Each structure stands twice: as C-alpha cells, then as structure tokens.
C-alpha cells in the first residue's frame, strides 16, 4: 500500500493505492469527471437555457401554444451543439384548458374566499357553479365509512397533510397524492358533487398547488386544490359548524393535439446500438414557468450533450437526450417513445430521468427489469467513490421517473436522478415554480453529476469492472 | 446473520443483525434519534425563533442597540425552556458604525456609480472623499510586483473571484478572503489611498457583500466592497483606459461597549463536569437580518435545549448552549468564554459550532487537540450509520468554527456542523441574508442533526463503543 497524489484539475487528491486497488482507469475517470464538473461550473449553458425556456415558454402545458414554443426552442438549443441527429417524434397529447373562472367562497359569508385552482383534467362546474355543503375527510379510505348517505350532494374536502417527519419529501408526497389523483373519481361513486384537495406541499403558503386528476367512472365531478393555509382555515371553520361553499370553474378538455418529443443523439463510435438515454419532460403546468418541474431536467439533459461537445468527447455508445412531452397529464410522449423503441427493437442500456428539481445532487435510484437493475447497482457501487468528491452519495433501489419507467420490460436499467428534496414541494405545481427559485450552482452540479454517470456507462456499459491495470510506481 | 425489523417512529426499518453487529444500544439510539427528528420537524421552535430574532433584532452588529436586543430576546427564549441555568457572560466588544455615506462614482462620468459598502472596521475617507486612479490586481501577491511606484496614491481594486470549480464553497471563500481582510493593510504599505474589493460571492448579483477587515499597520486606509456585477463592470472599464473614482465613506470606530454571551445549561445527572457545548454567534452584520449568518446557528443551538426538554430527556453530561457575541469583527465573546473556561478549569468534552447557514444538513467536521480529535472521529465513525437515514453523510477532519476554535489547547474536540454549502455565499454578508431566504425544513433538519450528535456524546462521551449486548432472538 502506498499514497499517491494526483492533480485533478486544480486540486491535489490523495489516493491510497493498494495492491489490488485503484487502477489506471480510476485515474482516467477521475480526471474526466473532474473536467465535466469544471466545464459545467465555469462554462455551463444550462442556467441560461433554463432562463430562455422559462421566460419564452412558461406554462407549457400539453397542447398549448407555449408547449409548441418549448418544442421549437429546445430543438434549436440542441441543434446548436451539432449532435449527429436531432429530431421531433410526433405524439398526440391531451389538451385541457383551465378557463378563466376559479371561484370559491362561503355562501353564508361571501367575504370568506378561497384561492382555488382546478386540478388538471377536471371537468368544469355546471354554469353558474355549485353550492354545496363541505365534508372534510382525511383520505380516500374514509369515504366508505361515511357512505352515500353522508356524501351525496356534498363537496368532499380531502385534508390529509403530507407527513413532515419523512426525510425524503417524495415519500411524503406519495402518501397523499392519491387524494388528488383519485379523490374526485372515488367521491363521485358516493354521489359527491365536487372535491377540494389540500395542496400537496409541506409549506404553509397561500397559493394552491395543482396537479393531475384522473377519472375512471362515467360520473365526472370537478376537482380543485386550495392552499395549505386555506385548508387549515376551512378545517377550522368546519369545526365551528357547517360550511356551504360556492364553487365555479370553467375548465374543460378539448380534442387531442399533435405535439412532439424532442430528441438528440450523439452516435457511439464502438457500440452505436447501445443507447444511453438521459431525459426530462418538456411540458409543465400552466400556472408557472415550470422551472424545477421540469425545466431543470430538460436543460440538464441538454447539458449532457453540451458538456460532451465542449470536452470534445467522442462516446463509444449512443447518447440520446429525450425531452418528453406530456408527463404531467397523460405520459403520451413517454408511451410513444417506448412503443417506438420496442417496434424498432432498440437496445437501451440505461435510461436516466431528471424530474425532481434543480437542487444539489445527492445520487441516483435504480429500478428496472430483473438482472438489469442488479447489474446497474453493481456498477454504481463500483463507481461510488468517483462521486464522493462531489458529495454525491445516494445509490439505492427506488423509483426512477414517470417517463423512463415506460421502458420497463425492454431490459433497461432505469435510473432517477436524486437532488436534495427538501425544497421541491414548496414550488411543485405552484405559481412559484419560476426561474428565480432555481440556484445556478445547484442546477449545474446536477448536470455534471448526470453527465459523469453517463460517461461511466459509456466507457464501461454494464461491464463496470475497472481494468486491473496497475500503475507503474 | 438475520434480518430484524424495527418500528422507529412510524417507519419500519430493516436491520441486518450480524453476530457482532448492531446491539441493543443501536436500537435505543435509533429510536431516540428518530424521536429528535420527529419533534424537530413537527413541533420545532427554531423557525419561529429565527423569525423573532430576524424581525425584532436585525442588523445586530456588536455594540449596537439591536445586538443588545438580541441578547435580551435569546435570553428570554432560553429561559422559557426552564434550563437549570441561564446567564449572561459580560464581554467588552468593538463598536464600529457604518455612518450614512457610501459614495462611489467615476469622476469623468458621474453617472457611472458603484454600489459601495464599507468593510467592517474600515476607517472613513477624509471629509470630502478621495479622488484617485484605480489599479486592478488579482490578489495580495501582486502588490509586491507592482511596488510603490505603481501603487502610491491609487485605489487598489482586488478582483480575484471565488473559484467556481471548488465544490465546498467555503474553500472557494477561503481562497479569496485574504483580499478583503488584509487588502487595505497590505496596500497601505505601498502608499495606496483606499481599496475596493470584489464581493465574496459566487453569484452574479447587484448588492455588495461586506465583512471584516483588519489593520496591523499604523497607516489606515479605507476599504469597501462592490458587487460582483459592479466589479465586472469596473474591470471592463479599466480595460478601456484609466478610471478615476470618487470614494466617500464616514464609517468609524467608537469606544468598546459592554455586551454579553448568552448561555444556558442543562446539568448532567451523572457527569455534570463534562460539558457538551453547542453554539452559534448572536451578532451579525448591519446590512441584513443575519438569518443564515448566524441567526440559524443560534436558533439551532437553542433548539437543542428545546428538543431535550420536549422529549423529557435528562442528560448525563452537562449540555451548554452558548450564543457568542462578536464573531464577525473581533471574536471577543469567544475569547472571553475560552478564557473563563480555562480560569475555572472547566472540562469541555466537545464543542459544536453551527455557523454555515440553515441549509440541509450534510455532516460534521472535527478538529482539536491531539488525541481528542482522533477519539472524536472514532466515535463519529461508529455512529455514522445512525445518521444515514437522515442523509447526513460527511464526517471528516476540518475547521470547526471561529468561536469554538478559541477552546483549542483545552483538550476539547471541536466540531463544525456542515450544511449544504451551495447557496450560502449568495446571502453571506449581503442585504439578502434575511429570514425569507431560510427554508423551514432545512433549518429544522439541521437542529435535529446537531441535537442527535449531542445526544450520542451525552450517552457515550468519547467512549463511543456501543455495548456489545446481543439482542435475544
């Protein structure tokens, strides 16, 4: 065993070199990864790209004019890096519009107003609105107990808060999202006329957070979110006595619209048929600039192409950047992408999704088909020490992302990029998810982290073992 | 080897129990730490305390009326938790005032203004200000090369930027802070009449960041900071030709003022003479609310007392919360504290400082006297797995903090609490270091992390080995 010092970029790093320890490839990979971070932090383009996407194409909900603008802008961004191919993959997407009415007040006291936002996909109220008594529940499972007798004609108010104690806020979100997604559908079975949902955020704030809702049944009733502060207020009012609310929204579903996934590719020199996918989703909700969700993931995916171009890196495998359309309310882009991959018998080795915000990078989760996810985890464990200098430390099994998960069954290792989750739900689906709430360095570090992992997969595929070449003394 | 499942709080955690693996104390400690985080995240008081401190006593620079107000507020906060003792430790502190003038413009083009902030401790300019040509340098080391001939009568403009490539932003800061602290003193030796310093931040922003400067020599010249955007602008102007600036400031040093460290103690039941210190600093710069620097550290230290009280935890050792006065410009509070500890022959086992902002917790650094720091690191390594569920993962040797480091030589292990550093210098010493820029959960998680480590030191001291009691099958 001996100590070796190595200048990586401008930093002296000390290595303990064991007989069977770090090898030449470790040095090479360390230096390449250091270069990736250096370029990302000093000449990165992702922050500027995010600015453009947020300011020129905010509120890019599927089917909207701004979604089309986002397609054009990102196509142009990718084209500028002269990848081997850039193309648009057509896909039909839902076209839901919010309308201009979102009114909610206490019928007995019209000054008591609630700041309402329709859930994505909701039907509107009948013209003139609904007046109905509110009944508060703590989750879907309470409906059966209350039964039709108590629920018919009522507005069901789902008020289960996200659990503050859970460290990973996505897990807290997972414990409540069913209220928003299926709340209206379930309540309609018991004759409810509308639902209100407590916003899915850990913050005590004044602005409602929207998100998708789905209908299975034929009896479609409207669903809307109110802010956590309003939810607390409404709950307090209900403790004093019955509350009748007036609810009025004119959102509606229009016919599907043609839209696109935006795709760019650096062709592999040795194994062009092995595809390494990195992606985010191009659409956003219509009440913000969609900066964290998922402008960040888009510009980070574009940045992988940019960084490799800036570093004159010629990949061995094919690196594909995919900006999926319609993650928020339908996943039509991801389905179309996966279907075409299957038809064309494409061989995706890995697919990494960035859709958890532009925060300080912490690691990756892995899922996927049997054999693939384990092979991928073996590789990650082998490479973990390469990420330690960048404080990236989480490599664990877990959900990847809504878009790449559509590739399940095609023998792909699916990875989710994991940034720090503490602030994500402050902005998630709210009017505050804007460019100004993204930190430049945090975003850039995320890009570099994703690009570094793509680099390692490019070098070694799933054959992660570093070559056992010993350095000369 | 077998798998054990344990309900910690509301979470099932799976443990692999080896023959010589996790022991009864691991279970007990896991549960206690889970409880600490639960209380911090659901009934925490630190965010509300921070609000009070920031709004009622912003700009609490040593010697100011607001610094005195901060002493009174935090004394009252601590008293409310009924610790065994709360007291004020008197200390004489510097009293520097900024005055009402901070003027900087281009003499040839008075519309070209620079947003100036005097560095803490700076003398003012002569009445009527200074008009002088600017010479840009990239650091202290360039002065000798330029010599008196080029520097006499000039305003020296230190424009070395923080290195964006370094992941730990405190290290980037460390690579530039000498310009701010010693820039004026060094330049005065060559006959310079004033210095301007590029703000120490990685952000491209419009507001200057202040900070302390020191004089060793008798020839005291004024020092001020300009924003990074202004620094870039000035540098661009200098590339076009000579720039003569008008500089005017009326800051000054007044006689020292009596102030206080605020201290509270939970008396240990078994080893009352072994002190576990947790602290932050009460003073702040005068241009903000001092939210991250170091309101966060103060309220997190107070929260340690609060959490143990809420959990009815009776410590074995003495837990002392110390809010130091005057960290920013003199460290008189920390010196007084350390001197008195020495005089009284107090036995501090560990001292943990929180002075790196209220961001997501990442870990701790350790330094201190020989033997102590190694023993502490051994303990941390033993306990590391207890912090893994909270994503706290950095346990390394490194600087602790300005205040606790004054205890060096008294046989103490000194620890620095390490939150995520990416955003810290966006706010550091700038007018934006306000309550609204602190995230509630990130602050609370920090409190819980510090309290958990204090709990472990309380249970085991430096005898970190968990008892090798095997659980019954």
What percent of chain A has pLDDT above 90? 92
Give me the tens of pLDDT residue by residue for chain B, a chain 473 residues long: 444 555 554 454 544 444 444 567 889 999 999 999 999 999 999 999 999 999 999 999 999 999 999 999 999 999 999 999 999 999 999 999 999 999 999 999 999 999 999 999 999 999 999 999 999 999 999 999 999 999 999 999 999 999 999 999 999 999 999 999 999 999 999 999 999 999 999 999 999 999 999 999 999 999 999 999 999 999 999 999 999 999 999 999 999 999 999 999 999 999 999 999 999 999 999 999 999 999 999 999 999 999 999 999 999 999 999 999 999 999 999 999 999 999 999 999 999 999 999 999 999 999 999 899 999 999 999 999 999 999 999 999 999 999 999 999 999 999 999 999 999 999 999 999 999 999 999 999 999 999 999 999 999 998 654 444 444 44
Q: B328 an active-site residue?
A: no
Instruction: Spell out the residues 6+ positions from residue B153 whose beta carbon is closer than 8 angstroms to its own.
Output: B132, B133, B191, B192, B193
Query: Taking CB atoms and an 8 Å limit, are B441 and A422 in contact across chains?
Result: yes
Comparing CB atoms, the residue among A38, A164, A423 nearest residue B42 is A164
SS3 B328: coil
Q: Rounded to 5 degrees, what are φ and ψ at A244?
A: -110, 125
Separation of CA B100 from chain center:
27
> What are A4's two structure tokens?
């070796």
Average pLDDT over residues A264-277: 98
Closest-CA distance of chain A to residue B425, Å: 11
> Would strands A102-106 and A109-113 be described as parallel, antiparallel, or unpaired?
antiparallel
Separation of CA A143 from chain center:
30
Rounded to whole angstroms, the Cα distance separating B97 from B100 reads: 9
Rounded to whole angstroms, the Cα distance separating B71 from B206 reads: 32
Query: Taking CB atoms and an 8 Å limit, are A163 and B10 in contact across chains?
Result: yes
Query: Taking CB atoms and an 8 Å limit, are B391 and A440 in contact across chains?
Result: no
pLDDT at B6: 52
Closest-CA distance of chain A to residue B34, Å: 9
Q: Rounded to 5 degrees, what are φ and ψ at B338?
A: -65, -40
Q: How many CB atoms lie within 10 A of CB A429?
A: 29
Distances (CA, A) of B50 to A383, B441, B443: 41, 13, 10
The pTM (predicted TM-score) of the whole model is: 0.94
Residue A127: Cβ-neighbour burial (10 angstroms; 0-12, 13-18, 19+): exposed
Identify all chain A residues contacting B203, using CB atoms and an 8 Å cutoff: 440
Identify all chain B residues contacting A423, using CB atoms and an 8 Å cutoff: 439, 441-442
The pLDDT tens digits for A25-67 are 889 999 999 999 999 999 999 999 999 999 999 999 999 999 9
Residues of chain B with CATH 3.50.30.30: 99-250
Query: Taking CB atoms and an 8 Å limit, are A360 and B422 in contact across chains?
Result: yes
A9: alpha, beta or left? (left if phi > 0; alpha if psi -120 to 50): left
Query: Taking CB atoms and an 8 Å limit, are A423 and B440 in contact across chains?
Result: no
Crossing angle of helices B296-310/B24-43, nearest 10°?
A: 120
Has residue A206 got a pLDDT over 80? Answer: yes
Say which CATH architecture domain B99-250 belongs to: 3-Layer(bba) Sandwich (3.50)
pLDDT at A398: 97
Closest-CA distance of chain B to residue A395, Å: 12
In CATH, which of 1.10.1240.10, 3.40.630.10, 3.40.50.300, 3.30.1540.10 is domain B2-94+256-460?
Answer: 3.40.630.10
DSSP secondary structure code for residue B122 in this structure = -
Element (H, E) at B268: none
Has residue A396 got a pLDDT over 80? Answer: yes
Would you identify the CATH topology of the domain A2-94+255-460?
Aminopeptidase (3.40.630)
Distances (CA, A) of B227 to A281, A315, B203: 36, 41, 9
Q: Which of A36, A27, A47 is nearest to B165 (CA)?
A: A36
Q: Rounded to 5 degrees, what are φ and ψ at A196?
A: -115, 140
Comparing CB atoms, the residue among B41, B360, B422 nearest residue A164 is B41
Query: Taking CB atoms and an 8 Å limit, are A164 and B442 in contact across chains?
Result: no
| Contact call for residues A422 and B445 (beta carbons, < 8 A) | yes
Q: How many CB atoms lie within 10 A of CB B336?
A: 22
Identify all chain A residues contacting B165, using CB atoms and an 8 Å cutoff: 9-10, 37-38, 41-42
SS (H, E, C) chain A: CEEEEEEECCEEEEEEECCCCCCHHHHHHHHHHHHHHHHHHHHCCHHHHHHHHHHHCCCCCCCCHHHHHHHHHHHHHHHHCCCCEEEEEEEEEEEEECCCCEEEEECCEEEEECCEEECECCCCCCCCCEEEEEEEECCCCHHHHHHHHHHCCCEEEECCCCCCCCCCHHHHHHCCHHHHHHHHHHHHCCCCCEEEEECCCCCCCCCCCCCECCCCCCCCCCEEEECHHHHHHHHHHHHHCCCEEEEEECCEEEEEEEEEEEEEEECCCCEEEEEEEEEEECCCCCCCCCHHHHHHHHHHHHHHHHHHHHCCCCCCEEEEEEEECCCCCCCHHHHHHHHHHHHCCCEEEEEEECCCCCCCEEEEEEEECCCHHHHHHHHHHHHHHHHHHHCCCEEEECCCCCCHHHHCCCCCEEEEEEECCCCHHHHCCCCCCCHHHCCHHHHHHHHHHHHHHHHHHHHHCCCCCCCCCCCCC
Identify all chain A residues contacting B163, using CB atoms and an 8 Å cutoff: 10
Instruction: Give me the interface pTM, i.e. the ipTM.
Output: 0.93
Mean pLDDT of all residues belonging to chain A: 94
Closest-CA distance of chain A to residue B367, Å: 20
The pLDDT tens digits for B281-334 are 999 999 999 999 999 999 999 999 999 999 999 999 999 999 999 999 999 999
Q: Evaluate the CA torsion angle B325, B328, B332, B337 in order and state its sign.
A: positive
Identify all chain B residues contacting A202, using CB atoms and an 8 Å cutoff: 441
**Chains A, B: CB pairs < 8 Å:** 65
Rounded to whole angstroms, the Cα distance separating A205 from A430 reads: 10
What value, to the nearest 5°, has the Cα angle with vertex A286 and ends A280 and A292?
Answer: 40
Query: Taking CB atoms and an 8 Å limit, are B423 and A442 in contact across chains?
Result: yes
A104: alpha, beta or left? (left if phi > 0; alpha if psi -120 to 50): beta
Rounded to whole angstroms, the Cα distance separating B313 from B304 reads: 11
pLDDT at A23: 63
Separation of CA B462 from chain center:
25
Tell me which of B186, B327, B328, B336 is the catalytic residue.
B327
Q: How many CB atoms lie within 10 A of CB B3?
A: 8
What's chain B's length in residues?
Answer: 473
Q: Which of B353, B374, B377 is nearest to B450 (CA)?
A: B353
Has residue A10 got a pLDDT over 80? Answer: no
Residues of chain A with CATH 3.40.630.10: 2-94+255-460
Q: How many CB atoms lie within 10 A of CB B52?
A: 17
Tell me which of A303, A327, A367, A444 is the catalytic residue.
A327
- B12, B46, B167, best to mutate vs chain A, most A CBs in 10 Å: B167
Query: Taking CB atoms and an 8 Å limit, are B203 and A440 in contact across chains?
Result: yes
Say if residue A433 is preceded by a cis peptide, omega within 30 of 0: no
Residue of chain A with shortest Cα separation from B389:
A167
SS3 B314: coil
pLDDT at B232: 98
Average pLDDT over residues A433-438: 98
Structure-derived torsion over alpha carbons of residues B250, B256, B262, B263, reported in degrees to the nearest 10? 140
Identify all chain B residues contacting A445, using CB atoms and an 8 Å cutoff: 167, 422
Identify all chain A residues contacting B440, using CB atoms and an 8 Å cutoff: 203
């Amino acid at each position: 065993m001996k100590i070796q010092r190595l200048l990586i970029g401008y930093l002296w790093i000390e290595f303990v070199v064991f007989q069977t320890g770090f090898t030449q490839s470790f040095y090479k990979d360390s230096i390449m990864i250091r270069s990736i971070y250096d370029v990302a932090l000093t000449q990165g383009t992702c922050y500027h790209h995010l600015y453009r996407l947020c300011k020129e194409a905010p509120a890019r909900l599927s089917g909207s004019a701004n979604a089309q603008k986002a397609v054009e802008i990102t196509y142009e961004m990718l084209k500028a890096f002269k990848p081997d191919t850039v193309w648009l993959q057509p896909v039909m997407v839902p076209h839901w519009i919010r309308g201009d009415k979102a009114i909610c007040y206490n019928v007995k006291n019209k000054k008591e107003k609630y700041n309402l936002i329709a859930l994505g996909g909701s039907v509107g109220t009948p013209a003139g609105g609904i007046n109905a008594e509110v009944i508060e529940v703590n989750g879907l499972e309470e409906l059966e107990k209350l039964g039709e007798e108590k629920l018919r004609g009522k507005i069901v108010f789902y008020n289960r808060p996200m659990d503050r104690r859970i460290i990973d806020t996505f897990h807290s979100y997972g414990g409540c999202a069913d209220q928003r997604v299926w709340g209206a559908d379930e309540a309609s079975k018991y004759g409810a006329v509308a639902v209100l949902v407590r916003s899915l955020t850990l913050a005590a704030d004044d602005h409602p957070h929207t998100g998708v809702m789905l209908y299975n049944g034929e009896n479609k009733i409207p669903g809307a979110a109110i802010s956590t502060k309003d939810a607390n207020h409404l709950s307090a009012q209900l403790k004093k006595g019955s509350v009748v609310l007036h609810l009025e929204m004119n959102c509606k579903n229009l016919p599907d619209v043609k839209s696109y996934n935006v795709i760019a590719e650096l062709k592999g020199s040795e194994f062009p048929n092995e595809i390494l996918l990195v992606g985010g989703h191009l659409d956003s909700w219509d009440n913000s600039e969609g900066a964290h969700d998922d402008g960040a993931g888009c510009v980070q995916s574009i940045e992988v192409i940019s960084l490799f171009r800036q570093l004159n890196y010629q990949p061995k495998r094919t690196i594909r950047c995919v900006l999926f359309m319609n993650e928020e309310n339908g996943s039509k882009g991801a389905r179309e992408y996966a279907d075409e991959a299957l038809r064309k018998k494409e061989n995706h080795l890995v697919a990494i999704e960035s859709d958890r915000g532009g925060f300080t990078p912490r690691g990756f989760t892995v899922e996927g088909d049997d054999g693939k996810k384990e092979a991928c985890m073996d590789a990650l464990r082998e490479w973990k020490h390469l990420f330690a200098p960048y404080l990236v430390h989480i490599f664990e099994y877990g959900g990847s992302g809504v878009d790449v998960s559509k590739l399940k069954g095609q023998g792909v290792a699916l990875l989710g990029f994991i940034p720090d989750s503490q602030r994500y739900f402050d902005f998630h689906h709210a009017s505050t998810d804007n460019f100004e709430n993204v930190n430049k360095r945090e975003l850039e570090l995320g890009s570099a982290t994703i690009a570094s992992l793509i680099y390692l997969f490019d070098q070694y595929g799933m054959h992660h073992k570093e070559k056992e070449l010993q350095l000369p003394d």
